[in-house]
Amino acid sequence: MSRAAAPLDPVPAGDQPAAPRHVAIIMDGNGRWATARHLPRSAGHERGVEALRRTVDAAGELGIKYLTVFSFSTENWRRPPAEVNTLFALLKAYVQRDLGRLKAEGVRIRIIGQREGLPPDIASLVNKAELETSGNTRFNLTIAFNYGARDEILRAVQAIARDVKAGVRDENISESEFAAYLDTSGLPDPDLLIRTSGEFRISNFLLWQAAYAELLFCDVLWPDFGRSHLEEALKSYNERERRYGAVTPGAG
């Protein structure tokens, strides 16, 4: 019997580093945070950017090397145009305001998601942020913007089909070759996936990459999230046993 391609990249069970290498966060609850305070939803999104700043700083200090945050989904286009505009304007303002500092602090910025359909000013800002920080290695901040995992997987399949047709590659493809066609090419899989706001769903985030991520759902609304919540999440992560389908060494 031939051996199925095994995802051998993850750290073997029982041999885990103290901090997860890659943490991914679904930053949810901005709207409810604002509504609870009789504020417009946009105020929640603004405070959400502050939470992002706190979290990026804390993640670096806590020894995390990769942080990936879900900022705007392909499904978020279903929201009223004014809210979509606010979310685009906030991404632009965040990159414009923080790029210099992040660059100086050794942060490599990547944006994942569908680039087509982004307004040209955002598309060029995103390219600039990626280019200017491409030599940085201390910390990796990836922003999922106009991102949907099904869309990402479909685009990968389309690119593979094009390459096969052009004779660039044969049709046999391994897991690692497939992963190289995804937006997250070059990034390790997330070890820990956090969702704030008390919702228990993935909402089309990193469906391929999070196959063996530890999931953590917390009640805090994203604008309230900070270092202490991240520390709590890491504590919970450290108490888990990742088995990757194997059995615990020495069990039974």
Least separation in angstroms between residue 177's CB and ligand IPE is: 29
> How crowded is residue 13: how many other Cβ atoms within 10 Å of its Cβ?
15
CA distance 87 to 82: 9
Q: What is the DSSP letter of 76?
A: G
Tokens of 236: 């919970």
Query: What CA–CA distances, in Å, run from 223 to 28, 47, 157, 231?
Result: 9, 5, 36, 16
Query: Number of helices (H) and strands (E), helices first, in the chain?
Result: 7, 6
Least separation in angstroms between residue 22's CB and ligand IPE is: 18
Q: Pick from 32, 65, 92, 115 the residue near ligand IPE by CB under 6 A.
A: 32
Q: Which residue type is seen at 166?
A: A
Task: Tell me if residue 163 is catalytic.
Answer: no
Return the SS3 of 128.
helix
Q: Pick from 22, 28, 111, 189 the residue near Mg ion by CB under 5 A.
A: 28
Pick the stretch among 27-35, 64-72, 107-115, 170-178 that binds Mg ion (CB under 5 A).
27-35
Q: Pick from 42, 73, 86, 209 the residue near ligand IPE by CB under 6 A.
A: 73
71 is an interface residue for ligand IPE by CB under 6 A: yes
Tokens of 85: 């505009």
Task: Tell me if residue 28 is catalytic.
Answer: yes
Pick the stretch among 22-30, 89-97, 181-189, 219-227 that binds Mg ion (CB under 5 A).
22-30
**Which residues sit at the interface with ligand IPE, rule CB under 6 A?**
26-32, 70-73, 76, 87, 197, 199, 201, 203, 222
